[in-house]
Amino acid sequence: MPPDSSTPKVEARSPSDATPEALSVANISTLIGRVAKQDRAAFAKLYKATAPKLLGVVLRILKERSWADDVIQEAYLKVWQRASLFDAGKASPITWLVSIARNKAIDELRKHPAGRTSTDDAMDERVARQPTTQDQMEDQQEVSKLNQCIDQLAKERQDMVRLAYLSGWSREELARQYQQPVNTMKTWLRRALQDIKGCLES
């Protein structure tokens, strides 16, 4: 959906340039409530206070700074559009914000399993980090094969594996997300990994 005049522009500067403010959970919840009422000042304050944390989450998934910065901008536009859906009784505000950022990052990784195509200076940097073209191709093939194997899992298992091994979610966090006992999550992950291993070896 293209932004319209009612959609605020996310700050152009990188999230890491923002100075985090010490805001309580209640304060962040209040800010989200104000954002739901299209309060641009509250949105700017929410971004400044929470963007550095969300950038860290996204960067661990995508590994590429410029890509992570772009995803953060998209994530906050989604926050602006969906702030009215936040329910403090179901999740903490930080958990809700992190979930949006993680899901955006995972969607990007699913669309570009071998990494986003870059140009100019960004491409030069990527090539310079690679010992040889052959090594780069082999790395991309491995990542592509892994994602193909993950994509063969049931949709719910795909997201679970990516959250666990790409986003670093704990078994307890997964259990809360999927509303299942921790032991059940361990069993699901073990079976999913067995299926992935079999796929990779085939």
Share above pLDDT 90 across residues of the chain, in percent, rounded to a whole number = 14
Residue 177 has pLDDT above 60, yes or no: yes
Cα separation, 51 vs 189, in Å, equals 30
| Cα-trace Rg, the chain | 19
What is the model's pTM? Answer: 0.52
124-145: pLDDT as tens digits: 444 344 444 444 444 556 667 7
Q: Count of CB atoms within 10 A of residue 188's CB?
A: 19
What does the pLDDT read at residue 90?
82
Using 50, 70 and 90 to split pLDDT, how confident is the model at 196?
A: confident
CATH of domain 132-202: 1.10.10.10
**Where are the domain boundaries for CATH 1.10.10.10 in the chain?**
132-202
* Top-confidence residue, 143 or 28: 28
What topology does CATH give the domain 7-112?
Answer: Rna Polymerase Sigma Factor; Chain: A (1.10.1740)
**Where are the domain boundaries for CATH 1.10.1740.10 in the chain?**
7-112
